[in-house]
Amino acid sequence: MSIMGERNASSIGHKKSLFYLFSITSILFILSWLFVLRSTGHPYFIDHNLLPNHKLFSTFHGGNLATRSRNGNNDPSIAANPVILEDQVAALRGSNMVKANPDNKAVLKVFMYDLPPEFHFELLDWKPEGKGVWPDIRTKVPEYPGGLNLQHSIEYWLTLDLLASEFADPSIARSAIRVHNSSVADVVFVPFFSSLSYNRYSRLKPHQKGSTNKLLQQKLVKFLVAQEEWKRSGGRDHIVLAHHPNSLLDARMKLWPATFILSDFGRYPPNVANVDKDVIAPYKHVIRTFVNDSSDFDSRPTLLYFQGAIYRKDGGFARQELFYLLKDEKDVHFSFGTVLKDGIRRATQGMHSSKFCLNIAGDTPSSNRLFDAIASHCVPVIISDDIELPYEDVLDYSEFCVFVRTSDAVKEKFLINLIRSIGRDDWTRMWARLKEVENLFEFQYPSKEGDAVQMIWQAVARKVPAIRMKIHKSRRFSRYNPLRNRKPRSLPIPINFSK
């Protein structure tokens, strides 16, 4: 072969090598891009066998706690593995013993402290027998005092509901059940009858340096901050009741990380209580429910009704202004009234025969009058700029209430002209809606599906994800700044919130 031929053959072989190298490189390049595109597309399930302790992950596969291997058969080695949380399994089994609420949401699991009776039923003059903490509600339920005390009695109804959850018929729908292991609970309930304590025991007795109410608050704080449940969460998952605006006046500034159940935020600084952290609960109405209401627009002769204290402070100044604006209107009833001297009976009669009922801010943004109006099917006219309403995240109050800004309400003829402009059809629609929602504000024992007790528990349940997030965030630096070693930080009581 000539030298030229050898060169041509060598050149051809070199070109072939370059071609093969280019082809292989291109294929690898294309495959690498396919891998990148695949990795950035839809998520794929992870093979738990590739992970450490994969048996633990497999027990949660498919959203249940069955002890299964990958082929679906029972694996005795997993069942015997102590890493599986027996308390969680027991809690889930326990929650299946009661019917869930109508929205098919999980039943709220509540751990309730066994506080000494002096904090709850002993305030009702109930005396424990032996070492028992709670009354046997299957034989007799201690009675709550009547009159205005009933307005803030939610602590009584919620505690009874938790006690009853241990004995209730499994077929009855419930929104909360009591559990006895705090590690499986969603929230921790503090059964202190704080409103009753304020109403009955806030006055000093001759031999006392401090009132019984104040002493109980001091004892409560000392008890709570010493509990492992409080240390574990910093109190964030605790449910504390302070429905009366003056209840827990001293302890609230130390227990502020907890979720409060309140009537409003009128006497709380926003860093202690606010709508994002806490739950607003309805008052228990004190007038008689309008049963079998067949009234209509024409059979209720009074256009606008108000009876109560007229001269109030703070946001309640509008009551006095409105009294002078409305007192001479012929179809308006606006007068001073109390529960004394047959006041409840007369208020019941007046609201049942009125088309609209005024709910005006008093010393605080809320009042029981709103819930009296709902029970009367008397369309509420709400004049309270800072009011927060129970379960408003799931209930549209504009369907059965009229809202008026205070600055507009005190203008001459504004309010009366607005009310007169609401005709028969609109009023009838709101009246019918009141009859549909009235059960949401009824407190009763035993509780029933969709009543006030279960609605409050459901409102608490909607706070649970936010509570858990706060707890988890608080643990970020717990390795060198452990939460359990911190002392509770007390906030000073602002002057304008103290009374």
List pLDDT tens digits, range 130-175: 888 999 999 999 999 988 889 999 999 999 999 999 986 766 789 9
* Res. 213: pLDDT tops 90: yes
Residue range 104-138, pLDDT digits in tens: 467 999 999 999 999 999 999 999 988 889 999 99
Q: What is the pLDDT of residue 454?
A: 97
By the 8 A CB rule, do 244 and 155 touch? no
Asked if the model's pLDDT at residue 492 lies above 70, the reply is no
* 347 phi and psi angles, rounded to 5 deg: -65, -40
Residue range 382-389: mean pLDDT, rounded: 96
State the pLDDT confidence band at 269, using cuts at 50, 70 and 90.
very high
Question: 20 vs 361, which has greater pLDDT?
Answer: 361
In the predicted model, is pLDDT for residue 261 greater than 80?
yes
- Tell me: pLDDT of 370 over 60: yes
pLDDT at 495 over 60: no
Backbone torsion region of residue 36, taken as left when φ is above 0, otherwise alpha when ψ lies between -120 and 50, otherwise beta: alpha
Per-residue pLDDT, 222: 97
Beta strand 108-112 with 238-241 is unpaired
In this prediction, residue 18 carries a pLDDT of 60
Q: What is the mean pLDDT of the chain?
A: 82
Whether 17 shows a pLDDT value over 90: the answer reads no
Structure tokens at 285: 């109405």
Q: What mean pLDDT is predicted for residues 180-192?
A: 98
CB 247 within 8 A of CB 258: no
Round to whole Å and give the CA distance between 188 and 329: 52
pLDDT value for 301: 97
What's the pLDDT at 312? Answer: 64
Among 193, 391, 439, residue whose Cα is nearest residue 281: 391
Percent of the chain with pLDDT over 70: 73
pLDDT of residue 272: 95
**Predicted pLDDT at 117:** 97
Q: So what's the pLDDT on residue 209?
A: 86
pLDDT band at 260 (very low <50, low <70, confident <90, very high): very high
Percentage of the chain surpassing pLDDT 90? 63
- Whole-angstrom Cα distance, residue 499 to residue 495? 8
Residue 230 has pLDDT above 50, yes or no: yes
**Per-residue confidence at 45, pLDDT binned at 50, 70, 90?**
very low
- Which residue's structure tokens are 């800072």? 386
477 band by pLDDT with thresholds 50, 70 and 90: confident
- pLDDT for the residue 50: 34
Question: Cβ(433)–Cβ(373) under 8 Å?
Answer: no
Residues 69-102 have pLDDT tens digits of 333 333 333 233 333 233 433 443 344 444 545 4
pTM of the model: 0.77
Q: What pLDDT digit, counting tens, does each position of 297-308 carry?
A: 999 999 999 988
| pLDDT attached to residue 478 | 76
pLDDT score of 12 more than 60: no
Q: Distance (Å, rounded) from C-alpha 156 to C-alpha 444?
A: 10
Question: Which pLDDT band holds residue 316 (cuts at 50, 70, 90)?
Answer: low
pLDDT-derived band at 248, boundaries 50, 70, 90 = very high
The confidence score (pLDDT) of residue 65 equals 31
Residue 221 has pLDDT above 50, yes or no: yes
Q: How many residues does the chain have?
A: 499
pLDDT for res 41: 39
